[in-house]
């Protein structure tokens, strides 16, 4: 049963990822991204990370992909791109070779070097209590400072997005856009 | 029977590589951005797998923070893309080669 879930979700993840990089239309790529993100969420559930699976669906599939689609449609760049043209000669073969090299290097390293090291102080992943309880008790005690800093990060991101995307109130273009 | 963690790690490595190759071969900045998301997800899967293998909740805490940072990154990145595309209609990274142009 576990293997069935893993194979199906893993196939969805890889198919979605290939769809993202091979689709010529940005909207299709965004929808393929949803497939990958759902597959990852299923794999999270299969590894007892229930809270993260829910957050994955809500934040990634629910917010980030919608934001992508929103920008694609807002900008009107939803026209197909010719994915076979090369501006840099030999870029694609070199990219594929580099990808093969990376995956080969990872698998070779995984054969010689393997998981080791001491337990961290964050707490154990199994045992009594739900996954949410354990994650929360670690997050709100050990990592409370980092958790609070993320709120600052989110505020900065919102302010930055507003500043970057707004039109100048003096009607017309800003100085930086006149060049 | 539970799937060994090595299989998850192999899947995550392949997903990371697909994302990296996509970043190299695509010229549309929006799709390049999606490829970055693919790579982030591959690393998230690795962290969750190690959290299970080492019986340590710390990996899941890291994934939580990665999700927050990824959300912030997408917001700012898409705002930059929107402000670039106000002035240009082409959607390729080759046209955005100057910081001020």
Give pLDDT tens digits for A125-163. Answer: 777 778 888 888 888 988 999 999 999 999 999 999 888
pLDDT of residue A9: 93
DSSP type of residue B92? B
The pLDDT, as a whole number, for residue B87 is 74
Q: What pLDDT score was predicted for residue A94? A: 87
Determine whether the interchain pair B82/A126 forms a contact, defined as Cβ–Cβ distance below 8 Å. no
Tell which residue, A78, A34, A82, A77, has the closest CA to residue A58. Answer: A34
Asked whether residue A43 carries a pLDDT value surpassing 60, the answer given is yes
Taking the C-alpha atoms of residue B84 and residue B101, their distance in angstroms, rounded to an integer, is 11
What is the least distance, in Å, from the CA of B93 to any CA of chain A? 11
Nearest to B83 by CA among A109, A116, A166: A166
Q: How far is CA A60 from CA A16, A73, A82, A100, A115, in A?
A: 14, 18, 28, 28, 29
Tally the C-alpha atoms within 13 A of residue A157's C-alpha that lie toward its C-beta. 17
Distance from CA of A55 to the nearest CA of B (A): 8
- Asked whether residue A174 carries a pLDDT value surpassing 90, the answer given is no
* Cβ-proximal residues to B59 (8 Å cutoff; 6+ apart), any chain: A125, B47, B48, B49, B50, B51, B52
Number of H helices, E strands in chain B: 3, 0
Percent pLDDT > 70 in chain A is 82
Residue A118 Cα to chain centre, angstroms: 28
Whether the per-residue pLDDT at A28 is higher than 70: the answer is yes
Cα B95 to its chain centre, rounded Å, is 23
Q: What pLDDT, on a 0 to 100 scale, did the predictor assign at position A79?
A: 67
Position A71 pLDDT exceeds 70: yes
Prediction pTM value: 0.86
State both tokens at B92.
């390729």
Q: Give the residue from B79, B93, B95 with the most A CB atoms within 10 Å of its CB, the best one to mutate.
A: B79
Residue B1 has pLDDT above 60, yes or no: no
pLDDT tops 50 at residue B18: yes
Give the pLDDT mean for B63-90. Answer: 86
Longest dimension (CA), chain A: 63
Is B25 within 8 Å of A10 when comparing Cβ atoms? no
- Predicted confidence (pLDDT) per residue in A76-112, tens digit: 766 666 666 666 777 888 888 998 998 888 888 877 7
Flag whether pLDDT at A172 surpasses 60: no
Average model confidence (pLDDT) across chain B: 85
| For range A3-8, the mean pLDDT | 92
Checking if the pLDDT of A178 tops 80, the result is: no
- Here the tokens at position B96 are 């955005």
- Return the pLDDT at A179: 41
């Amino acid at each position: 049963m576990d293997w069935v879930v893993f194979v199906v979700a893993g196939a969805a993840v890889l198919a979605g990822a290939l769809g993202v990089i091979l689709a010529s239309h940005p909207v299709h790529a965004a929808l393929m991204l949803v497939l990958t993100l759902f597959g990852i969420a299923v794999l999270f559930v299969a590894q007892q990370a229930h809270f993260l699976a829910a957050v994955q669906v809500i934040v990634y599939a629910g917010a980030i992909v919608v934001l992508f689609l929103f920008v694609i449609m807002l900008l009107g760049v939803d026209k197909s791109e010719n994915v076979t043209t090369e501006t840099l000669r030999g870029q694609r073969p070199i990219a594929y070779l580099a990808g093969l090299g990376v995956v080969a290097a990872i698998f070779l390293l995984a054969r010689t070097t393997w998981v080791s090291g001491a337990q961290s102080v964050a707490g154990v992943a199994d045992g009594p209590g739900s996954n949410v309880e354990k994650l929360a008790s670690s997050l709100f005690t050990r990592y409370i400072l980092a958790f609070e800093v993320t709120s600052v990060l989110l505020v900065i991101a919102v302010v930055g997005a507003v500043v970057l995307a707004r039109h100048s109130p003096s009607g017309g273009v800003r100085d930086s856009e006149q060049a | 029977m539970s799937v060994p963690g090595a299989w998850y790690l192999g899947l995550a490595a392949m997903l990371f590589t697909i994302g990296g190759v996509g970043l190299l071969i695509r010229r549309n900045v929006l799709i390049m951005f999606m490829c970055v998301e693919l790579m982030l997800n591959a690393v998230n899967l690795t962290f969750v797998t190690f959290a299970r293998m080492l019986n340590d909740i710390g990996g899941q805490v890291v994934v939580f923070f990665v999700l927050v940072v990824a959300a912030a990154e997408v917001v700012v990145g898409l705002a930059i893309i929107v402000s670039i595309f106000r002035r240009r209609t082409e959607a390729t990274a080759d046209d955005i080669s100057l910081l001020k142009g």
